[in-house]
Chain A
Amino acid sequence: MSNTRKKQWRWPLSPETVRSVLSSHSILGLAFAAVIYLVCVTGTVAVFAPDLERWEVPATPVARSLSDAAAARAIAEGAQHAPADTALYLALPTPAKEGASLVAFSPAFERKWAVAEDGSLSDLEAGWTDFLIHLHVNLHLPRSWGEFIVGLTGVALLSSLVSGILAHPRVLRDAFHLRLGGSRRLQEADLHNRLGIWALPFHFTLALTGALLGLSTIIVAVLALLLYPEGGMKKVYELFLDAPPPVDTRAVPMPDIAALIAQARARAPQAAPQNVMVERAGRADMRVTVLSGRAKLLVQQDETRFDAAGKVVADEHPEDFVPGTRVLGGIGQVHFGWYGGLAVRLAYGLLGIALCVVTSSGVTIWLARRRDRGRPAPQWERIWAAVCWGQPVVLCLTALLARFAPEASLPAAWLAFTVLSILASALAKTVPGPRLARAWRWALTALLAILAFIHGAAALPQGGAVLIDAVLLAGSAGLLASLLRGRTRTAA
């Protein structure tokens, strides 16, 4: 029967080319496996950053709505607690993001608060979430270098997706095959290919947007050299960002922020105000920007800017934005899945796990192939077990550390745990890779449950959200079930 299909349609690449492309897929996948896996794991968890912040600080108020007066009060209170040249960024509750928050930032200062419905502020310093996002974005390396490496990882992932498709002539014949429990290699290959194919649009989008975000600095630098040799990178950034008003450090009273939000709402009746940004609060060169979003648009495209006296200096709506600006604004939203609320975050979480499995199974297939050919690589089997299952364990340990020793340096702890776990696994020559992987899985099962109970016990009396605790417990229960099932099968 399969012969009929062969006659109807043939793979456009010759078998030898397929094998060459597969070899390229292998080389690239193996060279970048650990970094791709780390970026995928941290990215999958980072999707839940808004929930994780509330998980870390359970007493955080979650405003369902915020009146214009309460928004003005929050900004006034924030301005009192931040240096004069700091920008204040107020995020109002939206259908995609529960709760309101205020961030004060400048190159030398950064602080975040949760905003209650009456506009009062409470600290929202979520150290572990911050650590996780930076690990995903720049691996805690110097910013430009870290982002470049993560961008390069995105390119490697893109290339692996392309070569993976080109090297898969049985894409139709195996479209729905998922054969578990037989040959290890076949099981892993089925998982790798099915998850890779059916989630391809998502994985491609994620890799492309991630690569662009990571490589943006180098792209802008080279473009600036080419297009504006005299103006430099500043000139390129000026195309996308509005130039600030001329410096004037005289102190002036704050304008009536509530009235400005109402005015912005009146100017864009189809949109709802979602963010208020106050730059250089309390100075004569102050600028207040109200950004409003429409239900069907991915990013805010209604923007009203006021000067220190509350006079409108710019008013832009979707028709005023060129496609390039709209696309640029949407890249981060699409990458992190922060555009559609919990439903989208959960979906991104699931497909993120799928991408982690694709990466991990790629290496497992290579290891199994070596074993089948009589050239096993036990040391690499152990090291991969330490990366694949060890990294989630290390992340759990850093979360516990953040809970019990908030002053500890999380990047240093992560690095120490990672190096130790990999070294210990490489040196444990008497323990076979699969057994080590099981040990890591047991550790992860226990740590997920411990984290959930510790945080849940603290959050419940304060009326905090327990969504993350429920997810952690579910993960722990799932792992436990799979470990016990595996044990039963082995015994049978």
Chain B
Amino acid sequence: MIWPASLLLLAGGALGAFLLRRSWLRRDGSALGMIAGGWVVLLGLLLAAAFLVGPVKGLALGLVMEGIGALAVVWLGRVRRKAARLREMEAAPEPLDEPGRLWRGVLRTLLAGPLGMTAAMAVAFCVTVYLPGDPRTRIVIGGLLMPVLWGLAMTWTLADRRILRATAVLVATSVVGFGLAHLGASA
């Protein structure tokens, strides 16, 4: 079952990406049918895999195989060029250059690391404590939320130039979150 399903999803991923690429080549958004067709193939096959292979197994298999199919289309559409300097229109946005100061670096590391983790835990455990339902499910939801929230906190604190604002928000979130979680757990 897995082999035929994998091959079908691989082909479907390639077909969906091929249709999307055809519309992308026109560059004016005029091929709405192809855009819709591409997404219908990609999402429809995901649903079919979830139904036929298994709700989680099929979805996981679909995301993996369709990704490879789509990447195959990208690879087949590659262009090879002669060595040239980067043209202005091709240049991607540049990262913001900030004057490096040691204290800012240390503070940012603390914010993105330990403080971000504490704030993420505080929010995730609030969810664990206050969410209705079986404690095992609540613990797993909280556990899954924690790395996501920490990752978001990392992105934000490293991007936000107002470093004191980020510090205040993370400290407040940690104190309030853990306080509320403790109250809820003791109740």
Contacts and interface: CB of A to CB of B under 8 A. Distances in A.
Contacts of A350: 68
A2, A208, A223, A351: residue with the most chain B Cβ atoms closer than 10 Å: A223
B63 A347 contact: no
Interface in A394-450: none
6 contacts: A5-B29, A22-B96, A27-B158, A162-B151, A324-B137, A324-B138
Contact of A239 (B64, B73, B135, B141): B135
B129 A236 contact: no
| From B82, B93, B112, B138, residue with most partner A Cβ within 10 Å | B93
B144 A208 contact: yes
B59 to A, nearest CB: 9
Interface string A176-193: 101111110110010000
B93 A169 contact: yes
B139 A223 contact: yes
A20 B160 contact: yes
Contact of A8 (B29, B58, B64, B95): B29
Listed residue (B20, B60, B112, B125) with the most chain A CB atoms within 10 angstroms of its CB: B60
Contacts of A162: 151-152, 155
A182 B82 contact: yes
Interface in A330-371: 330, 334, 337, 339-341, 343-344, 347-348, 350-351, 354, 369
Interface string B134-158: 1111111111101110111011101
Given A22-B93, A298-B60, 17 more contacts: A5-B29, A18-B93, A95-B1, A158-B148, A172-B24, A176-B73, A180-B80, A181-B83, A183-B83, A183-B86, A226-B125, A296-B57, A324-B140, A327-B144, A347-B6, A347-B65, A347-B68
A109 interface: no
A159 B151 contact: yes
Q: For chain B, what secondary structure do more than half of its interface residues adopt (helix, strand, loop), or is it mixed? A: helix
Interface residues of A, number: 94
A180 B96 contact: no
A168 B178 CA distance: 35
A344 B2 contact: yes
B74 A186 contact: no
Nearest to B105: A27
Interface stretch (A54-62, A137-145, A197-205): A197-205
A212 B147 contact: yes
A198 B67 contact: yes
Interface in B33-88: 53-58, 60-61, 63-65, 67-68, 70-71, 73-75, 77-86
Given A4-B29, A339-B60, A354-B71, A95 B2 contact: yes
A226 B60 contact: no
A94 to B, nearest CB: 11
Nearest to B89: A2
A100 interface: no
A298 B28 contact: no
Contact of B56 (A208, A330, A343): A330
B27 interface: yes
A456 interface: no
Interface stretch (A64-72, A118-126, A149-157, A283-291): A149-157
A114 interface: no
A198 B74 contact: yes
Contact of A223 (B67, B113, B125): B125
A199 B71 contact: yes
Contacts of B20: 175-176
Contacts of A341: 2-3
A225 to B, nearest CB: 9
B83 to A, nearest CB: 7
Contacts of A2: 27
Contact of B147 (A96, A163, A208, A351): A208
A330 B59 CA distance: 13
Contact of A155 (B25, B125, B151): B151
A26 B100 CA distance: 14
B25 to A, nearest CB: 8
A343 B2 contact: yes
A176 B21 contact: yes
Contacts of A252: none
A325 interface: yes
Contacts of A175: 20-21, 24
Given A178-B75, A226-B185, A296-B57, A343 B136 contact: no
A19 interface: yes
Interface stretch (A214-222, A253-261, A309-317): A214-222
A205 B63 contact: yes
B159 A20 contact: yes
A325 B136 CA distance: 7
B77 to A, nearest CB: 6
In the A-B complex, the 6 residue pairs with the smallest Cβ-Cβ separation, listed nearest first, are A324-B137, A24-B158, A296-B54, A158-B151, A211-B147, A324-B140
- Central interface residue in A24, A25, A201, A327, by most chain B CB within 10 Å: A24
B115 interface: no
Given A28-B112, A179-B79, A298 B151 contact: no
B181 interface: yes
Interface in A202-247: 202, 205, 207-208, 211-212, 215-216, 219, 222-223, 226-227, 236, 239-240
A6 to B, nearest CB: 11
